[in-house]
A = this chain, B = another copy of it.
Amino acid sequence: MSRPAAHRRASIADVARAAGVSVGTVSNVLNRPDRVLPGTRERVEAAIAELSFVRNGSARQLRAGTITTIGAVVLDIANPFFTDVARGIEERLDRDDYTLMVASSDDDPGREQRYLRLFEEHGVQGVIVVPATDDIEHLQAIRRRGTGVVLLDRPSPDPGISSVAVDDVRGGELAAQHLLEQGHTRIAFLNGPHTIRQCADRHEGVVKALAAAGLDPEAALTEITVTSLNAEGGEAAIRGLLESGDQPTAVFCVNDLVALGVLRTLRTENIAVPADMAVVGYDDVAFAAELSTPLTSVRQPTHELGLRAADLLLTAPDTAEHVMFQPTLVVRTSSARP
């Protein structure tokens, strides 16, 4: 049923034949209609409609060379932080009639590379990448081959490659400082793997704050690696912590999804927040303020992040720029002094 016609798709030559013109003319109708007499144009347009012709993008691009698409590879498409950034990118691209293709690497360097290769092979004008590893050699290679590259949410170790980031060391520091000020001296950090730069940086910030307060990071900090950076990951991690008997009085979560899982688990385990356990998240996603215990979180300018990254790609594709935003701490109930 409904098997589509197995016919070869109509080509420009078919259209030309049907309209009684040359292929060059059909191409002109498609790309520079003003150079074609209205009468001819109409005949061609009729033929296009008749044959329901759709341009072959591969052939077009092969010959013409350019395309107004840019690709983005984010760590997790289900994380509101990244989709908010994507909205920012889209907004900027829209202004120049560019289109955005989004792919999710799932923290997997292999997937990231696959998607980047796909984008590059298809000749996108640039890529915006939140790298899944510290190693950006493959990105430098892409850049050398002439495709624009912007590192997102992480500063570039290579001055030749643009980046738009938020100071993650400062973010970690802000969160830890705040918890220290609330009197906590035993803090758990539910962090992602240090192969993800942001995670390593936030850890560094936490350690810095602890040291500045005269505490021994070894003793005051328990870092737990969350395998998947979402609510399920947070739930698993906090359960592991609770069972370990090691009892800090505060939990700092690498993102708000993880914090969501933590809050959910603490509630079912009847551990009061913030009385028995303070919780701080990261990203300040839309729902953070509306949770049963409004969540203290480190805010990043998501929209601007995306806007700026896209802007770099469109307006200065050949020069490298490094933008660093500063995070801010939004204090709410989840970390109030017990």
Contacts and interface: CB of A to CB of B under 8 A. Distances in A.
Contacts of A114: 99
Contacts of A54: 117, 120-121, 145
Interface in A121-159: 121-123, 141, 143-146, 159
Contact of A263 (B87, B90, B122, B290): B290
Interface of A: 1-6, 9, 52, 54-62, 69, 77-78, 80, 83-84, 86-87, 90, 99-104, 106, 114-115, 117-118, 120-123, 141, 143-146, 159-161, 231, 257, 260, 263-264, 267, 286-287, 289-294, 318-320
B99 A102 contact: no
Q: How many copies does the complex hold?
A: 2
A290 B264 contact: yes
A100 to B, nearest CB: 7
- When A and B form their complex, which 4 residue pairs have the shortest distance between CB atoms, in order from nearest? A57-B121, A2-B160, A58-B62, A58-B58
Contacts of A263: 290
Contacts of A2: 143, 159-161, 318-320
A140 to B, nearest CB: 10
A247 B169 CA distance: 49
- Chain A binding surface SS class: mixed
A106 B69 CA distance: 17
A56 B102 contact: no
A59 B121 CA distance: 9
B86 A104 contact: yes
A281 B273 CA distance: 26
10 contacts: A2-B161, A2-B319, A9-B146, A52-B145, A54-B117, A57-B118, A58-B59, A58-B62, A78-B86, A100-B103
Given A87-B78, A90-B104, A118-B57, A144 B1 contact: no
A101 B99 contact: no
Contact of A57 (B1, B123, B257): B123
Nearest to A91: B106
A231 B59 CA distance: 43
A146 B4 contact: yes
Given A260-B286, A287-B287, A287-B291, 12 more contacts: A2-B159, A4-B143, A4-B145, A56-B62, A56-B123, A58-B122, A69-B118, A78-B80, A100-B103, A101-B103, A231-B286, A260-B290
